[in-house]
Amino acid sequence: MAETPIHIPEDINYSCTGCGKCCGEWSVPLTEADYERISEMDWSSKEEFRGKKLFSSLSLHEKEGLPFTHVIVATDEGYCPFLKDHLCMIHAEHGAEAKPQTCQLFPYTFTQTPSGAYATVSMVSLAAMYNVGTPLKDQQDYLRTKLAEYESVMSAHAPDWSHIQLVGGQKLDWPTYLEYEKELLSILKDKSRSLNERLLKGSDFLVSKLDKPQPASEAQDAPLKKLDRHLLSALHKIYLPHKPPTRLEAHFNPFRFVYQYMFEQPVLRLKPRTFTIDELQAVRWPEDDAEVEDMLYRYIYQRIFGKFYFGGGFAQITLITGYHHLILVCALIKLHSKAIACEREATTVSLDDVAETIRLLEKYLGQTHISGYAAAAYELLMFSPQRIRRVLRNT
Ligand code: SF4
C-alpha cells in the first residue's frame, strides 16, 4: 500500500519537557484493546487505587464515530490517576507500549484527507503552547512512525470530506478547498496587519467566493447586538465552562439557546464570579505584545492547517460558517483571558492568561459533539460577516 503523504505545519515546535500537564484536565479515552490491557493490570493492590473507580464506559452517543469504548476517570483535581511525580505509572511499570494509544500519540494529531494526513500538536501540552522544542518540520521520520500508529487506531474513523460546501447549496471540491486554504493561511501569516484585521480579511476572501454576493459590511463602530452577546455567552458555557459540565450541558442545544436568549442575562461565568461583556471590554488586550498575538495566531493557524474547523473536521459545517465559528472562538479566548486578568485585578491580559484559556478550550472544544440540529443552528447564527465584525471589534 502507498504511504500516506504527511503535511507538516510551519514554525510549530514541540519536544516533550516531561511537565505532566498533558495528563491533566481531561478523561483519557481508551480503545477496547487499551481497556482490556490496562484494566487487567493489578491496580487494586496499590494503596492509592484501593476503592477507586479507574475506568468508565462511554455511552453510545459519546462513542459515535470514534474508536474509543471507555475513559480513565480523572482524580478530583482533574489529573489522570496514573500520573505520579510527573511520571506515568503504566509506562514506568509496563513500558511505553502499555500506555493508552492516545497517550502514546499525544500531543501529535493527524487529520486524514483526500490529499494526505495533516500533522498538528495539541496546545494542551505546555511545550506546544509555548512553541518550545524541535520544529515539526525536522521531525519527519518520527511523525511518520506516529502517523502509522494513528492509522492503526483511526483507520475506520477517517473524516468524510465528500460533501464539503462553501455555504449551504454551494459545493466545494477538495482541490478548490486547498486553494482557498492556501490563500487563508497566507492572509493569516501577514504580520504587517493586526490579527483582527487578518481574520476579517480571511472572511472577506471567503465571502467573495460566494455565487451570490453579500451586502457591504456595516459601520466599523457598530456595537454588539443582543444576539451577539447571547451567542458568546452560550458558547462560553460549553467551550470554557467554569466546572465540568453534565452530559446535557456539554453540547450546543438550539432550544436551550432560545430559552437563554429570552430569559437569562448574557454573562461569562468564571469561578466564582460572573462578568458582563461590557465589564470585560474595559480590560486591555495587548495587541502590541508579539508573544500574545503569536500564541493566538498559532492556535488559529493549527486549527486551519489541521482542518478542525469545518466539513469532516468539525460537524460537517460549511466553510464560511466554520471559519466564522473560529473567529467567535478567538473572541471567546480574548474575553475569557480578560476575565482571568480581572480575577487577579490586572488591567491587561498576560501571556499566561491566554495560555490557561487555550488549554481549557482545547480540552472542551475537542470533546464537544455537535448534533445535526446544533450544526443547523450554527449555520444560521454564524454565517453573517457583519456579526463576525461586531464581535471581533468589541472583544
Ligand atoms: S495513562 Fe499515563 S500518559 Fe496517559 S494520561 Fe495517564 S499518566 Fe499520562
Write out pLDDT tens, residues 147-160. Answer: 999 998 887 788 99
Burial tier of 305 (Cβ tally within 10 Å: 0-12, 13-18, 19+): buried
Residues 6+ apart with CB under 8 A from 170: 210, 211
Burial of 393 (0-12, 13-18, 19+ CB in 10 A): middle
Residue ranges per domain, the chain? 6-157, 183-393
Position 219 pLDDT exceeds 70: no
Rounded Cα distance between 218 and 312, Å, is 32
In this prediction, residues 263-279 reach a mean pLDDT of: 92
Tell me how far apart the alpha carbons of residues 393 and 395 are, in angstroms, rounded to a whole number: 6
37: enclosing H helix or E strand = helix 32-39
* Residue 216 pLDDT level (bands cut at 50, 70, 90): low
CA of 310 to the centre of ligand 1 (A): 30
Yes or no: say if 345 and 10 are a contact pair by the CB < 8 Å rule. no
pLDDT of 393 strictly over 80: yes
At 217, the pLDDT band (50, 70, 90 cuts) reads low
The reported pLDDT for the residue numbered 2 is 73
- When the pLDDT of each residue in the chain is averaged and rounded to a whole number, the result is 91
Ligand 1 centroid – CA 99 distance (Å) = 7
Q: Residue 47 — very low, low, confident or very high, per pLDDT cuts 50/70/90?
A: confident
Ligand 1 pocket: which of 83, 106, 363 to mutate (most atoms <8 Å of CB)?
83
Q: Whose CA is nearest to atom 4 of ligand 1?
A: 103
Closest ligand 1 atom, residue 38 Cα: 1
206 C-alpha to center of ligand 1: Å? Answer: 41
Question: Does the C-beta of 100 come closer than 6 Å to ligand 1?
Answer: yes
Q: Would strands 116-121 and 6-7 be described as parallel, antiparallel, or unpaired?
A: parallel
CA of 103 to the centre of ligand 1 (A): 6
Give the residue, 199 or 26, on which the prediction is more confident.
199
| HSE-up of residue 374 (Cα within 13 Å, Cβ side) | 19
pLDDT at 365 over 70: yes
CA of 22 to the centre of ligand 1 (A): 8
Q: What is the mean pLDDT of residues 272-288?
A: 92
Could you tell me which residues are beta bridge partners of residue 72? 55
Question: Is 348's pLDDT higher than 90?
Answer: yes
Distance from the alpha carbon of residue 76 to the mean position of ligand 1, in angstroms: 16
Q: Tell whether ligand 1 has an atom less than 6 A from the beta carbon of residue 103.
A: yes
Contact (Cβ atoms closer than 8 angstroms) between residue 277 and residue 229: yes
Q: Is the CB of 28 under 6 A from ligand 1?
A: yes
pLDDT score at 81: 92
CA-proximal residue: ligand 1, atom 2 (nearest): 88
